[in-house]
Amino acid sequence: MEDLPDGATWHEQHKATCGFGERLADRVAAVMGSWRFIIAQTIVVGLWVTVNLIAYLSHWDPYPFILLNLLFSTQAAYAAPVIMMAQNRQSERDRIQAHDDYITNLEAKREIEELTIRLNLIETEKLNKIISMLEESRDQRKQ
């Protein structure tokens, strides 16, 4: 993170620390969590079942589709840990962002407090000036 410029966002800083496996886990989770993947998998399963039900000569996976179940089990066995890795990384990104937001809020609070003090000083100075002008006016009337 130290090679990045001072103005780098938390996201850029976090992305710079990612290894190949972490980036791959993020991509796999993004693909498997998309409608495109669900639709494509539904089409493949539909074709698989249809071809195996109506095939005349060769059923490579006859009903109850044990090979298809094996493929789903294998996919789930690999997908679950990869998705968990991506979720863990998302949690880490969220913690970094929350910390950055906290620091920003502290700085904003400090600036607001300083502005409030300055505005109070200006208001006090104006009131003192008005009071002195009123006293001068009263003194001039008495004379």
Q: What is the pLDDT of residues 22-64, one digit of tens each?
A: 888 888 888 988 999 999 999 999 999 888 888 767 778 888 8
pLDDT recorded at residue 52: 87
Q: Average pLDDT, stretch 5-25?
A: 76
Per-residue confidence band for 103, with pLDDT thresholds at 50, 70 and 90:
very high
Provide, rounded to the nearest whole percent, the portion of the chain with pLDDT above 90. 48
> How far is residue 100's CA from residue 9's CA, in Å, rounded to a whole number?
9
> How far is residue 133's CA from residue 140's CA, in Å, rounded to a whole number?
10
> How far is residue 33's CA from residue 86's CA, in Å, rounded to a whole number?
11
Q: Average pLDDT, stretch 88-92?
A: 88
- Type of residue found at 70: L
Asked if residue 7 has pLDDT above 80, the reply is no
Per-residue confidence band for 1, with pLDDT thresholds at 50, 70 and 90:
very low
Q: Average pLDDT, stretch 98-121?
A: 96
Provide, rounded to the nearest whole percent, the portion of the chain with pLDDT above 70. 92
pLDDT recorded at residue 47: 92
Considering all CA atoms of the chain, what is the largest pairwise distance in Å, rounded to the nearest integer?
A: 124
Judge whether 13 and 96 are in contact, CB under 8 Å.
Answer: yes
> How far is residue 61's CA from residue 132's CA, in Å, rounded to a whole number?
99
User: What predicted TM-score, i.e. pTM, was given to this entire model?
Assistant: 0.59
Encoded tokens for 87:
């979720």
DSSP the chain: -TTS-TT--HHHHHHHT--HHHHHHHHHHHHHTSHHHHHHHHHHHHHHHHHHHH-SS--SS-TTTHHHHHHHHHHHHHHHHHHHHHHHHHHHHHHHHHHHHHHHHHHHHHHHHHHHHHHHHHHHHHHHHHHHHHHHHHHHHH-
Q: Average pLDDT, stretch 88-99?
A: 88
